[in-house]
Amino acid sequence: MNASAQTALVTGVSGQDGVYLARALVAAGVRVVGTVRPGDPTSHEMAVYLDGVEVVEHDLRDDAGFRGLLETHRPTRVFNLAGFSSVGASWDHPELVAEVNGAAVERMLAALLELRDRHALDVRFFQAGSAEETGDASDSPYARAKARAHAATTSSREEQGLFACTAVLHNHESPLRPQRFVTRKIVRAAAEIALGRRDELTLGNLAVARDWGAAADYVDAMVRMLAADPPTDLVIATGVTHTLHDLLVTAFDAAGAGDPAAYVVQDAALLRPSDSPTMTADPSEARRVLGWAPTQTFEDVVAHMVRVDLARLRSGVEESPEYLHPG
Using only C-alpha atoms, the chain has a radius of gyration, in whole angstroms, of 20
Q: What is the DSSP string of 287-321?
A: HHHH-----S-HHHHHHHHHHHHHHHHHH-----G
20: nearest Cα among 311, 310, 231, 304: 304
- Please give the C-alpha separations between residue 326 and each of 61, 163, 191, 233, 302, in angstroms, as whole numbers: 36, 33, 17, 29, 10
As a whole number of angstroms, the distance between CA 80 and CA 101 comes to 10
Q: Cis check for the bond before 38: say yes or no (omega within 30 of 0).
A: no
Which are the catalytic amino acids? 130, 132, 142
